[in-house]
Structure 1
Amino acid sequence: MSHQLYSRWVTWASVAAVSTATLLIIGKLIAWLMTDASSLLASLTDSLMDVSASIINLLAIRYALAPADDEHRFGHGKAESLAGLIQSAFISGSALLLVMHGISSLLNQAPIQRLEAGMWVSVGSIVLTLLLVGFQRVVISKTGSVAIKADMLHYRSDLLLNVGVLLALVLAGQGWFWADGLFAILIGLFLLWGASHIGYESVQALLDRQLPAEEQARIMTLCCAVAGVHGVHDLRTRQSGPTRFVQLHLELDDQLPLVNAHHIADEVERAVLQEFDRIDIIIHMDPVSVLMKEQQSPHPEQ
């Protein structure tokens, strides 16, 4: 996928998330004012956190997609991982608020007024969120965006939250008032668990974690398949936003003319670029004999 197409998909996903969250906030606010249900208030709070996180996500993605400049020669892709880390903090805060609201509701059980309004808003929220999550899944399958993955966690959790709110309202209508608070607590704990995973992935990306082992193995295979390459060593990889960065050393014949060595390196680069989208590769060329001597020579005593 080209950089322009990647930019278009992730921007659409971010705009869709902000628009959906805004509609949910309006609906849940009206429903909460009509019912005074704790689970709806918790859901409203969660949506407020979601729209804040989605706006941050949209801004971060636009910055991450900016081309490299004189001060950021490797581009701005890490802004996307930073957005994922910020969102994990938002999710955690939202989850803690849900747990607190749930505990308060359990301690102060009371009948809920105008249940029908709350139920209809919950059903509408489920439908809108399902549509958004489906669209986000398509975008993630095409781009692998960390920020969109983090955003999808919000709304996938919102599906459970809205189903829980709907079920809590139904049970409360049957006189089981404790359900209102219990569902808020359970969903809050689930959100905390999901936020920890998003936070971990974002931190690893910011710390330049290597590409998956299968991708590294594929890169090594592609390099060694080029005629004239005797081996590859010192492979180093990382990912920043949509771009993979690869550095490696090619092992070539000692007496190979520089122009021929350069030609082989170009062939290796083309082979890797044909296999992987959005990749930046740096190749260093080493003579085989020097490497063999280094491997055979004893290590000096420490």
Structure 2
Amino acid sequence: MTATDTSQYHFWIRWATRASVATAVILIIAKLIAWFYSGSASMLASVTDSLMDAAASVITLLAMRFAIQPADENHPYGHGKAEPLATLAQAAFILGSSFLLIFHGVDRILKPAALSHSGLGIGVSIFAIVLTLALLMIQRKAVQVTGSTAIAADSLHYRSDLMLNFAVLLALGLADNGAWWADGVFSVLIALYIGYGAIGLGYEAVQMLLDREAEPEVRKQVLALLNQDERILDCHDLRTRRSGQNLFVQVHIELESDISLRLAHDIADAAEKRILDAFSQCDVIIHQDPQEVVTGSAP
């Protein structure tokens, strides 16, 4: 990364994470007021989801501040694993809360009650939709500039919030017209949706912590970059992994056995540069193996 790229990366990481925390806090306050006056179970589900958003955003903020720190003596591979660790903590927190929402929603289904001040809840839900859309615009730009998986996951979560807020609007509208059961039903549906998302986030975090191979497209691109040089006869033992925003590549290349050490080094250096140019945050290790080249036919 150039100095300009690094500056842009840090700017958008900080801007997106801080905007996410601010949005979650504002929505928590607004939804708490609406739930207090309306008593809506689905609004309580929305409040809980916003609390999860706030917790997730704070964890993401702290984790990204740690993850973007450069490698040091004690962490020679950088601090990128802070991202999946934060995601795993978010997933566990969100999953536990979804169970609480299910219990509350089932209780409301079994004991339906009329809502009061439902208009306030509807107004707050519309406000939440508008504010969330504004945040998503910021996060979209941040992901375009940084490619951050943590910001992308946070953005995905807020996109799901749009659906949740629309669901709350529908539940409040139905309950306001006598369908009191809708409030509890939508609370349970929202909880199930949140729980499903938490399981998906947790799975992806665990895979990254276990050093899962990078995406197939990345491996294909690395091999294509290596094969641009005809002096590289073959490649094998290609291994890739991600640690936060950092991509790690290890590969063996086969070269003619009779070339000089200097030439072998230059070929590997050129291959490494092609990969580094293609992936802005990358660590590459290339091992050169000699290969006997048969130039004539056997007698």
Residues 21 and 54 in structure 2, CA contact (< 8 A), matched pair in contact too: yes
For 1:45 and 1:194, locate their aligned partners in 2 and report how far apart those are by CA, in whole Å.
Answer: 15
For 2:96 and 2:140, locate their aligned partners in 1 and report how far apart those are by CA, in whole Å.
Answer: 25
Alignment of 1:13-162 (within 5 A): 13-162=16-165
Give the superposition deviation at 1:94. Answer: 2.8
Alignment RMSD? 1.7
Structure 1 unmatched runs, 5+: 293-302
Where 2:29 maps in the other structure, the secondary structure is helix
Give the superposition deviation at 1:227. Answer: 4.0
1:12 pairs with one of 15, 25, 28: 15
AA at the equivalent of 1:76: H
Give 1:177's aligned residue. 180
Give the superposition deviation at 1:90. Answer: 2.3
Structure 1 moving runs of 4+ over 6 Å:
none
Give the superposition deviation at 1:181. Answer: 0.7
Give 2:268's aligned residue. 265
Give the superposition deviation at 1:162. Answer: 1.4
Residues 10 and 139 in structure 1, CA contact (< 8 A), matched pair in contact too: yes
Would you say how many aligned residue pairs link Structure 1 and Structure 2? 291
2:200 pairs with one of 197, 200, 208: 197
Give 1:188's aligned residue. 191
For 1:181 and 1:252, locate their aligned partners in 2 and report how far apart those are by CA, in whole Å.
Answer: 68
Establish whether residue 241 from structure 1 lines up as the match of residue 222 from structure 2. no
Give 1:300's aligned residue. none
Give the superposition deviation at 1:49. Answer: 2.0
For 2:97 and 2:208, locate their aligned partners in 1 and report how far apart those are by CA, in whole Å.
Answer: 24
For 1:153 and 1:93, locate their aligned partners in 2 and report how far apart those are by CA, in whole Å.
Answer: 20
Structure 2 unmatched runs, 5+: 295-299
Q: What TM-score do the two structures reach when normalised by structure 2?
A: 0.92
State the identity %: 50
Give 2:289's aligned residue. 286
Give the superposition deviation at 1:92. Answer: 1.3
Residues 160 and 187 in structure 1, CA contact (< 8 A), matched pair in contact too: no
For 1:85 and 1:3, locate their aligned partners in 2 and report how far apart those are by CA, in whole Å.
Answer: 27
Residues 42 and 97 in structure 1, CA contact (< 8 A), matched pair in contact too: no
For 1:93 and 1:158, locate their aligned partners in 2 and report how far apart those are by CA, in whole Å.
Answer: 18
Where 2:167 maps in the other structure, the secondary structure is helix
**Deviation string for 1:6-30 (max 9, x for gaps)?**
2322222111110000000110111
Where 2:292 maps in the other structure, the secondary structure is helix
Where 1:85 maps in the other structure, the secondary structure is helix
Establish whether residue 253 from structure 1 lines up as the match of residue 250 from structure 2. no
Greater displacement, 269-278 / 63-72: 269-278
For 2:182 and 2:161, locate their aligned partners in 1 and report how far apart those are by CA, in whole Å.
Answer: 18
AA at the equivalent of 2:104: H
For 1:46 and 1:216, locate their aligned partners in 2 and report how far apart those are by CA, in whole Å.
Answer: 37
Residues 77 and 240 in structure 1, CA contact (< 8 A), matched pair in contact too: yes
For 1:133 and 1:192, locate their aligned partners in 2 and report how far apart those are by CA, in whole Å.
Answer: 22
Greater displacement, 20-29 / 103-112: 103-112
1:206 pairs with one of 194, 209, 222: 209
1:223 pairs with one of 210, 226, 236: 226
